[in-house]
A and B are shown apart, each in its own frame.
Chain A
Amino acid sequence: MLRSLYQLVLRAHPPYFRQRFAEEMQSIFDQAESRSVAAGLLADAVLSLLRQWSLRPQFWEETPLAVGRGTPLFNVLDNNKPRAAALVYGAFLSALVLNGVCWTMGYAWNHPIFIELRRPVFVPPASWDRKSTSVPRDETTESAESSLYTGEGRVVLIFPSHARPSGEADPAIQLSMSSPQEPARSSGAPIFLQAYPGTYLSTAENGERVNVTLHSGRLQLEVVGFFSSPIVPIPGSQEMTCAVRNCSARFSTNASSVANEVEILFDGRTIHAYRVQGAVF
């Protein structure tokens, strides 16, 4: 019983001390002549245990085995148990890092960036410019480009093009190619947009005046006395939409594909105006 207890106390000693002296201490204990002597040795071992753990931290680590000259030294990790203090420190550090990562992830997820997509402004793609030239294009590989402006920056949207039969030309191209007016091409603006600029006059009693201008390839709609806004064509429809306010404009064209009438909707009102100036074709 006392021997087992003594062994237990010896095993509880720091690794360095246990490795070097436990065997000898056990040897001395085994030579105890009486039970009282063995009990005294047990008490001495308990005191030693307290002393080693509290006053001898420099001897806690196990020492590498001594080897002779020329003998390779191999460290076996089986006996390399980390110190209790190192384990506690490692656990604390791991918890700290994990908490930091979780906090960072949570902070990021709680602060999304919301981008309000306002009414998009589609700018005629550069490929439309190329359509005005006599160079034939490859409809199967070319994709239409459109630019979308928002208050937060610029987003480029790329839409797949719809392939047309090789013999069928784009209406815009038809418009430009059928036009006899070469000066319009030299202005640098998309040809089909040249059909809209001009001055329009409402038939109502108030006689609102509507100016449509073309600057740098963009149409500008001005309802004199009310608002002025860039307008852009809505692909696939006859309408144009305002960039800065909730309004739309629908142009009607004559047999020469020149706009001669416009219907503007804004703030619940409808203005019907006819071209009075600026017919370019």
Chain B
Amino acid sequence: MREDISSLLPLSPATLHILLSLAGEELHGYGIMQEVQRQSAGKYKLGPGTLYDNLQKMIERGLVEELGKRPGDDDPRRRYYRLSPLGRGVLSAEIARLDGVVREGKLRLETRPRRA
């Protein structure tokens, strides 16, 4: 499992944002787009084409599970998605990797020699 997760890293920005948006709750496609926009403070906008292309790949790899339509939803055409255990593991590994990158970056920036 560990090897499988490490082979999927590093994640692309779109994959990372989609996994992040699904980490909290089950969402439909439009909800994922809105959540990505909220998480990035409007700096990263995900189009439907990019979203579903990534979702297609993530479903194929087992990172995301499709739950289907929910009765009583505002739009009956919507399908819901959730993070799979593997997807959660991949997201955790990616966050840990990014955490290391951030710490390393901070360390480098702090030890930067100051000009006299």
Contact = CB atoms under 8 A, between A and B. Distances in A.
Nearest to A17: B56
Size bin of chain A's contact surface: 20 to 34
Contact of B48 (A48, A51, A52, A56): A48
B56 A41 contact: no
Given A17-B56, A31-B30, A24 B49 contact: no
Size bin of chain B's contact surface: 10 to 19
Nearest to A27: B77
A135 B14 CA distance: 108
Interface string A32-54: 00000000110011011101100
Task: State the main secondary structure of chain B at its contact with A.
Answer: helix
B10 interface: no
Contact of B77 (A20, A24, A44, A56): A24
B50 A44 contact: yes
Interface centre among A25, A47, A52 (most CB of B within 10 A): A25
Contacts of B56: 17, 20-21, 56, 59
Task: State the main secondary structure of chain A at its contact with B.
Answer: helix
Nearest to A40: B47
Contacts of A26: 77
Contacts of A40: 47
Contact of B49 (A20, A25, A31, A59): A25
Contact of B52 (A21, A29, A47): A21
Nearest to B52: A21
A23 interface: yes
B53 A24 contact: no
Given A20-B56, A56-B53, A27 B47 contact: no
A28 B28 CA distance: 10
A41 B29 CA distance: 14
B75 interface: yes
B52 A27 contact: no
B78 A27 contact: yes
A23 B55 CA distance: 15
Nearest to A45: B49
A158 B17 CA distance: 94
B29 A48 contact: no
Nearest to A48: B49
Contacts of B75: 27
Interface of B: 28-30, 33, 47-50, 52-53, 55-56, 75, 77-79
